[in-house]
Amino acid sequence: MAGLSTRHLLGIKDLNPADIQLIFETADNFKTVLNRPIKKVPSLRDVTIANIFFENSTRTRLSFELAERRLSADTINFAASSSSVSKGETLIDTVNNILAMKVDMVVMRHPYAGAGIFLSKHVKAQIVNAGDGAHEHPTQALLDAFSIREKLGDVAGKKVVIVGDILHSRVALSNILCLKQLGAEVMVCGPTTLIPKYIGSLGVRVEHNLVKALNWCDVANMLRIQLERQDIKYFPSLREYTMLYGLNKQILDSLDKEIIVMHPGPINRGVEITSDVADSKQSIILDQVENGVAIRMAVLFLLAGQTP
């Protein structure tokens, strides 16, 4: 079996379409494993993986941990808030101390863009980016595209709108890069203040009217407002944002066709999406969570299979 063209997974921009298809095909096999009574395989036995999270995380951290255990890897978990980082230790020193314990692979989330790229140039272990600032979140984009493929049969030719805080979202950038590589048409929708100026260079459409965007698309990926990354006010109030860009059942039922609704989580119910939409039959939010384990198993397996 051919391997990935990259030694690390730092961003979607490092993958080519063949890499993405290989990850999907491998994830298909692992999803079969996850639906068996015995959900474990010995694929990464004797491989040690460190999960290093400098930002809070629930779904991504648990998904990676579960993927590693399903592959029989040995894991160690690191949280910056309870580590020597709070005493002034640098990123490289922190990781090198962990690698001195003979760790083979590092899964890292960091608040600063490019942290994974920087680390990959200074340590020998393989790096998987679990999100770096507002830059990229490659495994989220892979599981989103995999979920669309699973639901609609293929990604190519499908119309996907990403709604919300595009400016501060690492999920948005990775999704755009991944979907474009797979042949999808992509549109972004949100207030002008939350749409990056460079967005046109990525080959995506821009729409500021939510209903027009939803009538155009086959899939709507609803993003939360990233208040923790906003140092100024980008819109008057959450209430006004919800009135203009929140997806509710009334809007969903009024559309010309039935669309698929996605959300990378965590959901702010009643803001970007209402509960009756999040829990509707058109929502594949929990499918995304399930597929996240299979995708991350595939990524870890394919990277670990490479020789240094």
Q: How far from 178 is each of 74, 136, 139, 182, 185, CA to CA, in Å?
A: 30, 11, 10, 6, 11
- Do residues 153 and 281 both lie within one domain? yes
- Do residues 146 and 16 both lie within one domain? no
**Kindly report the CA angle at 292 between 265 and 179, in degrees rounded to 5?**
80
- Do residues 132 and 148 both lie within one domain? no
Question: If you ran DSSP here, which 8-state letter would residue 305 be given?
Answer: T
- Do residues 63 and 148 both lie within one domain? no
- Do residues 158 and 57 both lie within one domain? no
Beta bridge partners of 206: 188
Query: Alpha-carbon distance 175 to 193, whole Å?
Result: 20
Q: How far is CA 10 from the centre of its chain?
A: 12
Cβ atoms of 26 and 32 closer than 8 Å: no
Which tokens belong to 298? Answer: 């595939």
In a domain, 106, yes or no: yes
Helical H segments across the chain, by residue range: 17-34, 59-70, 91-99, 115-120, 138-152, 170-181, 210-216, 238-245, 249-254, 275-278, 285-304
- Do residues 281 and 159 both lie within one domain? yes
Q: Is 266 annotated as a binding residue?
A: yes
Q: Is 140 annotated as a binding residue?
A: yes
Query: Alpha-carbon distance 138 to 173, whole Å?
Result: 9
Q: What's the pLDDT score for residue 47?
A: 95
Q: Is the pTM of this model over 0.85?
A: yes
CATH number at residue 89: 3.40.50.1370
Q: What's the pLDDT score for residue 89?
A: 76
- Do residues 115 and 209 both lie within one domain? no
Beta bridge partners of 105: 49, 126
Q: Is 59 annotated as a binding residue?
A: yes
Residue with tokens 């699973």: 150
Q: How far is CA 62 from the centre of its chain?
A: 13
pLDDT by 10s per residue, the chain, length 308: 568 999 999 999 999 999 999 999 999 999 999 999 999 999 999 999 999 998 888 899 999 999 999 999 999 998 776 556 656 778 888 888 888 888 999 999 999 999 999 999 988 899 999 999 889 999 999 999 999 999 999 999 999 999 999 998 999 999 999 999 999 999 999 999 999 998 999 999 999 999 999 999 999 999 998 755 556 576 768 899 899 999 999 999 999 899 999 999 999 999 999 999 999 999 999 999 999 999 999 999 999 986 55
- Do residues 256 and 152 both lie within one domain? yes
Total of domains in the chain: 2
In a domain, 2, yes or no: no
Query: Alpha-carbon distance 261 to 122, whole Å?
Result: 40
Q: Is 224 annotated as a binding residue?
A: yes
Q: Is 124 annotated as a binding residue?
A: no
pLDDT digits (tens, 9 = 90+) for 3-48: 899 999 999 999 999 999 999 999 999 999 999 999 999 999 999 9
The radius of gyration of the chain from alpha carbons, rounded to an integer in Å, stands at 19
In a domain, 3, yes or no: no
Q: How many residues does the chain have?
A: 308
Task: Give the DSSP letter string of 194-237.
Answer: GS-GGGGGGT-EEE--HHHHHHH-SEEEEPPP-GGG-SS-SSS-
Judged on CB neighbours under 10 Å (0-12, 13-18, 19+), 83 is: middle
- Do residues 158 and 191 both lie within one domain? yes
- Do residues 75 and 182 both lie within one domain? no
Range of the domain at 235: 138-286
Query: Alpha-carbon distance 171 to 99, whole Å?
Result: 28
Cα-Cα-Cα-Cα dihedral sign, residues 281, 284, 286, 291: positive
- Do residues 146 and 279 both lie within one domain? yes
Longest Cα separation, the chain? 59
Q: Is 137 annotated as a binding residue?
A: yes
Judged on CB neighbours under 10 Å (0-12, 13-18, 19+), 237 is: exposed
- Do residues 170 and 275 both lie within one domain? yes
